[in-house]
Chain A
Amino acid sequence: MLSKAKRKIYARKMREFWIDFSHNKIGFAGLVILFFFIFAAIFAPVLAPENPIHQKRVAARYAVPEWLTIFSPELQNEPPTIFYPLNATIAPENSSCQEVSVHYPQGSQFALAYYNEESSSNGTVLYIFDFKFNYTYEKPPAWSIEAHWQANFNNLSYRIELYFRSPKGSEWIIWGKDYDIVTRRVIVLPQMWNLRDGSLRVESGSTYLKRRLYYEDFYQKLLPYYLEKYSFINITFPREFVAFTEKGFKNFTSRQSLQSVEDPDQMIENPIYTYYKNLKQKGETNLTWIEYWETWTTSEDYNLTWNTISEFVHERWEKWVSAFMLPQLTVYVDENVTATNTIYLAWYRGYKILGTDTPYNSVPWEEIATILNLTISEELANYTVIDLLDIYQSDISNATEANPAYQRWINLPENVTISWDDYWKLWVDIQYYTGRTAFFNRYLKSIRLGPEIAEEYAKKEAYNFAATSPTPTYYLATKGTQTIRLHLYVIPKGKDANLTITFRRSRFTVWGARHGLLGTNSFGFDVWTQLVHGARISLVVGSLAALISTFLGIFFGVLAGYVGGIADEITMRIVDVLLCLPVLPLLLALSSYFKPNVYYLVIIIAIFGWQGLSRVIRSRVLTLRELPFIESARASGASSSYLLIRHLIPNVFPIAMASLVLSVPGAILTEAALSFLGFGDPFAPTWGKMLHEAQSEGSFHALAWWYIVPPGLAITFLCVAFVFIGHALDEIVNPRLRRRR
């Protein structure tokens, strides 16, 4: 493209420039620092293999870096993170060994089968299993135990208790629960909603399609179907449903409006209750009517921190959602019940909160459609169900690599996602109706639930539970062989009582007090990973934003300076307007109201960043335009584009280069400031986000300097590197600062 002579000239120019630059100590130092960051950014997956967005817990909260043991050797006694698999042995105190057949099927730890032929109950049978492991460190800051088992049983109930036995022999119970009937709740989808004119509206969550489902459908088809299948039904209704009035039915205009229940003149009976009463009188059913009373409170006195979000969501979610979202028909299906089969038919409004011990199956939409003789449309198949788990039960170890942050408090089956738009709509609705931001709702990226949820939950029959010790004072206080003892009580209730229970993948985890190169943050995530991957985002964001804004600056500057006239006026007015907008507050408002994404941020920073450069370039072009060589070139017949490309822009380039390099730290700092305030992209592992988490998670009080100092230092050095380089460039290129005389 270029002639050989030209190439030689450029090569020589580059060499001279490089000599100038490398003699400038400051600039060279900046370049060296920048080189380290680029190295870290490129080799981030090698330096820190863990996925920074979907991090897993690796140690206790605020674990110290490992290399601190050089400076304080007593840290050697603090435990690292250890996983003890729980392999059971039958305890010597086992009371009924002869009835146990314990075997170790492939892939699981152990299984137990119990069978009792007798018709009368023989009383409670107790099986005891011991899980032993050796622990020789100091008390850990946190531990957790997970037990997964799957139980198929009939005609009995069983109880599991977990005890902790110290090496000295003292015993404390960790957890215990009865399992009487396997309650599986089936959610009938999509949601059904009471219209005031006596019909039920069936809506599928995200697309909000409406489908009318009349009471007759419910009374004459759904209810009889389940009544026939199961002979015992519990029906529960929320209070709002009870309080609908006939007058309200007819005057219904806005769906948010509800009649107060304190208006007794206007109460009529719940039509389903009427139906029930008829059935009961005729003796055609042994339904039990249970009314579920919700109480409304409007005192929003919850302090929304990470730790209270679960209670907040627990208590409030149903209320708001049930008021403004759509009711849901929930069908509880009991299998393996004692005397009779039981079905819970709950007319429940809103999203049901699940506990971890109640897994549920969903009735396929096809079944409902068949019963009601409806046709399934594409959209109706997209129903939305959201489960909310208590945040403290976050150590579910069967989470896979796809375990984004929201699964800490929203438990979803694997491979199930909601689209961002659906969730955003949901979140906006909730925010709208409550006036508050559930702070960590931002962390919800994509949850899409579709028909596959039915299959997923149909397969899931395991019970999970996780317990963490609140006060590790007595657990693991004595060094030596620790024992976890499992008591399994089996209470047969009738003939042919049988139980098959399989324990798999259970483990006891000691969360270490020391870990890794830079310790952990308040969630137990590795800090080094975030640091190294943050380099990528900072570099990319800074460079891109600076590049785009420089390009815009050159473009508008040359446009204003060369073309002049009306283009000049318009450009200068635009520059004035943009200069007069407060950048940071506007950025905050924009990212708070619209989806915060790193690349939108780049564009917005670039939009606000080009004015200074354009002014400088404009004045330079104005002076250049009057120079004699331009005039002579034009007299020789040069076109405008020739002048621009060959003369003006190359002359403007040095200033633009210096400005480019000097505007990168501004962009990096803006992005860091935004993330620090909490308005950045919640999924980008930036340094600003680390600082934000440091501040909001209380690492100041914990003096967790390994979480606070590294990202700040990284930002500092990156910005300083660019400033040094830019300053050197400025000195070389800017004629004003050259030494005269």
Chain B
Amino acid sequence: MLRGYLIKRIITSFFILWVVVTLNFVMFRVVHPIKDPSALILNPEWPVEVRLKLQELWGINEPLFPNQYLRYLWNMLTWQYGLSFDTPPKDISKEMGWRLANTLILLGTVTVITIIIGTYLGVLAGSRRGKKTDVTVMGIGLFTWGFPTFFFQILFLIFFAYYTRINWGIQIIPFGGMVSYPPPQDPLAYLGDVLWHAAGPIITLTVLGFGGWALYTRNLMIDALTEDFILTAKAKGAKERDVLYKHAFRAILPPIATMIAMSIPGIVTGAVITETIFSWPGIGSWYIDALNRGNHPVTQSVLYNYAFLVILANLVSDILYGFLDPRIRVGVRR
């Protein structure tokens, strides 16, 4: 049963990946108005032979289907993204590598902290339903869930970076970026500098992020605490803490695990606005910059990357769910 489920999910994932890649191709090659990108880079005074050579190099002069399409598929699947449209053209895979690392550093930290705080508070609130803890956690959670993150980040940045600096001369948060210029030489100071720059995004994202988790966990907890086996455990004399964590929390672990797995693609894709506001050199701000400048190879590659990561994360979450949910692990007879 498990094996059949897993195989089905893997095949579906490949299918979805194929659909996304084709969508990418259609959107950026077939439909897009730019037909001859060689003029983007070249000085128009150069002879036409140079342009034709470049087109041949890029393979644009071949027909779209099937030559370009197959080559595109192969390149995407082997992560050969080619060169960007800057001057000088950069290797996209390398560029994406370190930018992805930057994004992951920031958002990975944020996600971990958010999940820990959120689930803990949610469990706490769920166990004391209707009391002050519950209402406070729920109120804060609801409020921060509806609060637009980018506005909060703008306010945070303005007050702690601009306002204090302009009015009182103190710089609590830097204006943006990942490291100061010039970067400090000492590795420990460098780390501290990066942390100082990351403080803004991390604080704002965790403050606004834990609400959703707390709400979700609280609802699940309330649901689980009404089950009969909790009553049994209590009747058997289990400690309050054990009831909460050993019994109820374990019961709600599968959906929480799925949510964790579902939020992993959010680590990469959810950074766009944060990186723009705080000028964090990650993959999101690179994407926006490429979109604004018409840097199409970068746009294509980043979009494909996002989709790939999302599909991968979904696959992982499904596999995880398959392992955790005994109905699938053992198999249910209809």
A and B associate in one complex: yes
**B-contacting residues of A (Cβ < 8 Å)?**
26, 253-254, 256-261, 296, 298, 300, 323-324, 428, 431-437, 439, 573, 576-577, 579-586, 588-590, 592-593, 665, 669, 672-673, 676-679, 691, 694-695, 700-701, 703, 705, 708-709, 712-713, 715-716, 719-720, 722-724, 727, 736-737, 740-741
Give chain B residues whose Cβ lies under 8 Å from the Cβ of A432: 33-34, 36-37, 39-40
* In contact, B287 and A433 (Cβ under 8 angstroms): no
Nearest Cβ distance between residue A324 and chain B, in whole angstroms? 7
Give chain A residues whose Cβ lies under 8 Å from the Cβ of B293: 435-437
Give chain A residues whose Cβ lies under 8 Å from the Cβ of B303: 582, 585-586, 589
Give chain B residues whose Cβ lies under 8 Å from the Cβ of A719: 146-148
Give 19 pairs: A residue, B residue, CB < 8 Å, sorted on A: A26-B142, A258-B45, A298-B43, A323-B44, A324-B44, A428-B33, A432-B33, A581-B20, A582-B306, A582-B307, A585-B303, A588-B272, A588-B287, A589-B291, A672-B150, A700-B162, A720-B147, A724-B146, A737-B223
Give Cα A253 to B49, complex, Å: 11
* In contact, A673 and B273 (Cβ under 8 angstroms): yes
Give Cα A694 to B145, complex, Å: 24
Please tell me if B226 contacts chain A, counting CB pairs below 8 Å. yes
Please tell me if B241 contacts chain A, counting CB pairs below 8 Å. no
* In contact, B223 and A736 (Cβ under 8 angstroms): yes
Give Cα A253 to B306, complex, Å: 41
**A-contacting residues of B (Cβ < 8 Å)?**
12-13, 15-16, 19-20, 23, 27-28, 31-34, 36-37, 39-41, 43-48, 51, 85, 87, 139, 142-143, 145-148, 150-151, 154-155, 157-158, 162-163, 166, 219, 222-223, 226, 265, 269-270, 272-273, 276-277, 287-288, 291-294, 299, 302-303, 306-307, 310-311, 314
Nearest Cβ distance between residue A519 and chain B, in whole angstroms? 16
* In contact, A576 and B288 (Cβ under 8 angstroms): no
* In contact, B292 and A439 (Cβ under 8 angstroms): yes
* In contact, A589 and B27 (Cβ under 8 angstroms): yes
Give chain B residues whose Cβ lies under 8 Å from the Cβ of A590: 27
Nearest Cβ distance between residue B317 and chain A, in whole angstroms? 11
Q: Which of A254, A585, A705 has the most chain B CB atoms closer than 10 A to its own CB? A: A585
* In contact, B148 and A254 (Cβ under 8 angstroms): no
Give chain B residues whose Cβ lies under 8 Å from the Cβ of A700: 157-158, 162
* In contact, B273 and A723 (Cβ under 8 angstroms): no
* In contact, B265 and A712 (Cβ under 8 angstroms): no
Of B87, B147, B299, which contacts A716 at CB under 8 A?
Answer: B147
Give chain B residues whose Cβ lies under 8 Å from the Cβ of A709: 155
* In contact, B294 and A436 (Cβ under 8 angstroms): yes
Known: A260-B46, A677-B276. A577 touches B19 (CB 8 A): yes
Give Cα A298 to B164, complex, Å: 42
Name which residue of chain A comes closest to B39, CB basis: A433
* In contact, A431 and B272 (Cβ under 8 angstroms): no
Nearest Cβ distance between residue A375 and chain B, in whole angstroms? 33
* In contact, A296 and B307 (Cβ under 8 angstroms): no
Give Cα A678 to B139, complex, Å: 32
New contact pairs (9) apart from A258-B44, A589-B27, A740-B226, CB-CB < 8 Å: A256-B48, A432-B37, A577-B19, A584-B269, A673-B148, A677-B288, A712-B155, A716-B148, A719-B148
Nearest Cβ distance between residue A297 and chain B, in whole angstroms? 9
Give chain A residues whose Cβ lies under 8 Å from the Cβ of B166: 701, 703
Nearest Cβ distance between residue A451 and chain B, in whole angstroms? 28
* In contact, A679 and B291 (Cβ under 8 angstroms): yes
Give chain A residues whose Cβ lies under 8 Å from the Cβ of B148: 669, 672-673, 712, 715-716, 719
Give Cα A709 to B90, complex, Å: 39
* In contact, A582 and B12 (Cβ under 8 angstroms): no
Give Cα A324 to B38, complex, Å: 14
Give Cα A38 to B292, complex, Å: 35
* In contact, A256 and B146 (Cβ under 8 angstroms): no
Give Cα A741 to B129, complex, Å: 13
* In contact, A582 and B150 (Cβ under 8 angstroms): no
Nearest Cβ distance between residue B37 and chain A, in whole angstroms? 8
Nearest Cβ distance between residue B265 and chain A, in whole angstroms? 7
* In contact, A589 and B299 (Cβ under 8 angstroms): yes
Give Cα A701 to B273, complex, Å: 20
Closest 7 CB pairs of A and B: A712-B151, A435-B40, A257-B48, A723-B146, A582-B306, A719-B146, A720-B146
Of B31, B146, B147, which contacts A722 at CB under 8 A?
Answer: B146
Of A261, A576, A720, which contacts B12 at CB under 8 A?
Answer: A576
Give chain A residues whose Cβ lies under 8 Å from the Cβ of B265: 582
Known: A436-B294, A672-B148, A737-B219. A708 touches B43 (CB 8 A): no
Known: A584-B272, A588-B287. A716 touches B294 (CB 8 A): no
* In contact, B155 and A577 (Cβ under 8 angstroms): no
Known: A582-B310, A700-B158, A722-B146. A716 touches B151 (CB 8 A): yes
* In contact, A582 and B269 (Cβ under 8 angstroms): yes
Nearest Cβ distance between residue B88 and chain A, in whole angstroms? 12
Nearest Cβ distance between residue B175 and chain A, in whole angstroms? 8
Give Cα A586 to B27, complex, Å: 10
Q: Which of B16, B147, B151, B276 has the most chain A CB atoms closer than 10 A to its own CB? A: B151
Give Cα A716 to B288, complex, Å: 24
Of A260, A435, A573, A736, which contacts B47 at CB under 8 A?
Answer: A260
Of A580, A669, A740, which contacts B307 at CB under 8 A?
Answer: A580
Known: A585-B302, A720-B146. A431 touches B44 (CB 8 A): no
Name which residue of chain A comes closest to B147, CB basis: A716
Give chain B residues whose Cβ lies under 8 Å from the Cβ of A431: 294
Give Cα A716 to B154, complex, Å: 13
Nearest Cβ distance between residue B36 and chain A, in whole angstroms? 8
Known: A254-B48, A260-B47. A581 touches B307 (CB 8 A): yes
Q: Which of A573, A584, A713 has the most chain B CB atoms closer than 10 A to its own CB? A: A584
* In contact, A691 and B154 (Cβ under 8 angstroms): yes
Give chain A residues whose Cβ lies under 8 Å from the Cβ of B270: 584
* In contact, B48 and A701 (Cβ under 8 angstroms): no
* In contact, A593 and B45 (Cβ under 8 angstroms): no
* In contact, B311 and A580 (Cβ under 8 angstroms): yes
Nearest Cβ distance between residue A308 and chain B, in whole angstroms? 15
Nearest Cβ distance between residue B29 and chain A, in whole angstroms? 12
Give chain B residues whose Cβ lies under 8 Å from the Cβ of A300: 87
Give chain A residues whose Cβ lies under 8 Å from the Cβ of B31: 593
Give chain B residues whose Cβ lies under 8 Å from the Cβ of A436: 293-294
Give Cα A588 to B284, complex, Å: 11
Give Cα A577 to B219, complex, Å: 28
Give Cα A434 to B12, complex, Å: 41
Give chain A residues whose Cβ lies under 8 Å from the Cβ of B272: 584-585, 588, 677
* In contact, B47 and A585 (Cβ under 8 angstroms): no
* In contact, A256 and B310 (Cβ under 8 angstroms): no
Give Cα A719 to B148, complex, Å: 8
* In contact, A727 and B27 (Cβ under 8 angstroms): no
Known: A257-B48, A593-B27. A435 touches B294 (CB 8 A): yes
* In contact, B147 and A257 (Cβ under 8 angstroms): no
* In contact, A296 and B151 (Cβ under 8 angstroms): no
Give Cα A441 to B259, complex, Å: 42
Nearest Cβ distance between residue A117 and chain B, in whole angstroms? 58
Nearest Cβ distance between residue B161 and chain A, in whole angstroms? 8
Known: A433-B40, A700-B162. A712 touches B154 (CB 8 A): yes
Name which residue of chain B comes closest to A694, CB basis: B154
Nearest Cβ distance between residue A214 and chain B, in whole angstroms? 25
